Amino acid sequence: MAVYISPLTEGFGASATGFSIRDGLSESDFRDIELALNAYGVLVMPDQPLDDEAQVAFSERLGPLEETLVGAVGAGSKIVRVANVLPDGTLKDPDSQQALFTRANFLWHTDSSFKATPAKYSMLSARELPRAGGGDTEFVSTAAAYDALSPDEQALADRLIAIHSIAWSREKFAPGASSEEQRRRLPPVPQALVRTNPMTGRKSLHIASHVMGFEGMSDAEGQALHDAWLERATAPDRIYRHRWSPHDAIIWDNRATMHRATPYDETGDRRIMIRTTISDFGPTVRDGAIVEAA
């Protein structure tokens, strides 16, 4: 087997074909996939029918998997169910905290940057898609966002430490979208604003709706700066919108991209996506100083 990589847009994202995750991948095919993921930021893998076991086994080759957040369906396992359907098959109450929590994925974000050790990659597979359509996922490149900054802005960004908080992004989206336990167990954490990919050497601007401010700046000043950068990074012509087909799986590099969910008929249709999340090397800030992966 051979892995074929074909770019999806001019700037980032590629599709990867020619292999079967379920049948197993040679070490060299696997390396090609990881290199392409680091080069393109988003890798769409069509025609990969997966169950949880196959997805976990493949994801674990990319690095250690996160355990699912407190208060989410599947907490304590290595699987996140991103769905409007509960494990017993009934639809979530659209006004429940869990439904609001999932719907807050409509905000541009990176996964788990609100944890001391953020997510490196995420893998999302389509298990059941809305029959009437909708529920697309959009991506942008934060490496392109960094490149688009002026030299002065890059110099500023290089030394900034951002404060990420899940309670901040959830409550901003809708009051009550986070639970008391989540707020207590997931306090704000510092993250390097600029990440350097150790495989490619390319820098990216690690912004996300979880950012509530920057160290050394007032909250208002920090939010204004962040929101201006976010707006530039997510201009319509920078977006890759993925319309899911059955058996699609996507892996993305959270260090170099942001993504967001889009609406579908949550009360009349069903959408079940399964995510596995690969941890980064560790905290990106230690003792107040930015650290990078070796």
Distances (CA, A) of 240 to 39, 141, 208: 16, 9, 17
How many amino acids of this chain bind ligand OGA (CB under 6 A)?
10
C-beta closer to Mn ion: residue 32 or 111: 111
At 125, is the secondary structure helix, strand, or coil?
Answer: strand
Listed ranges 16-24, 103-111, 165-173, 263-271: which one lies at the site for Mn ion (CB under 5 A)? 103-111
Q: Is residue 261 at the binding interface for ligand OGA, with CB under 6 A as the rule?
A: yes
Q: How many other C-beta atoms are found inside a 10 Å radius of the C-beta of residue 3?
A: 20
Q: Within a 13 Å sphere around the CA of 268, how many CA atoms are in the beta-carbon half?
A: 7
For residue 32, what are its two tokens? 């090609």
Residue at token pair 């208002």: 220
Sketch the per residue contact string, 111 through 150, with Mn ion: x for CB under 5 A, - otherwise: x---------------------------------------
> By CB under 6 A, what part of segment 54-83 binds ligand OGA?
82
The number of residues in the chain equals 294
191 within 8 A of 164, measured Cβ to Cβ = yes
C-beta closer to ligand OGA: residue 66 or 111: 111
Per CB under 6 A, the list member of 202, 203, 270, 275 interacting with ligand OGA is 275
Least CB distance from residue 287 to ligand OGA, whole Å? Answer: 30
Position with the least CB separation from ligand OGA:
261
Least CB distance from residue 105 to Mn ion, whole Å? Answer: 5
Handedness of CA 236, 211, 137, 123 (dihedral sign): positive
263 within 8 A of 136, measured Cβ to Cβ = no
C-beta closer to Mn ion: residue 19 or 114: 114
Per CB under 6 A, the list member of 15, 68, 137, 234 interacting with ligand OGA is 137
Least CB distance from residue 135 to ligand OGA, whole Å? Answer: 6
3-state secondary structure 76-118: CCCCEEEECECCCCCECCCCCHHHHHHHHHHCCECCCCCCCCC
Sketch the per residue contact string, 78 through 117, with ligand OGA: x for CB under 6 A, - otherwise: ----x----------------------x-----x------
Least CB distance from residue 145 to Mn ion, whole Å? Answer: 17
207 within 8 A of 145, measured Cβ to Cβ = yes
Residue at token pair 């409550």: 171
Residues that bind ligand OGA (CB under 6 A): 82, 105, 111, 122, 124, 137, 259, 261, 273, 275
Residues that bind Mn ion (CB under 5 A): 111
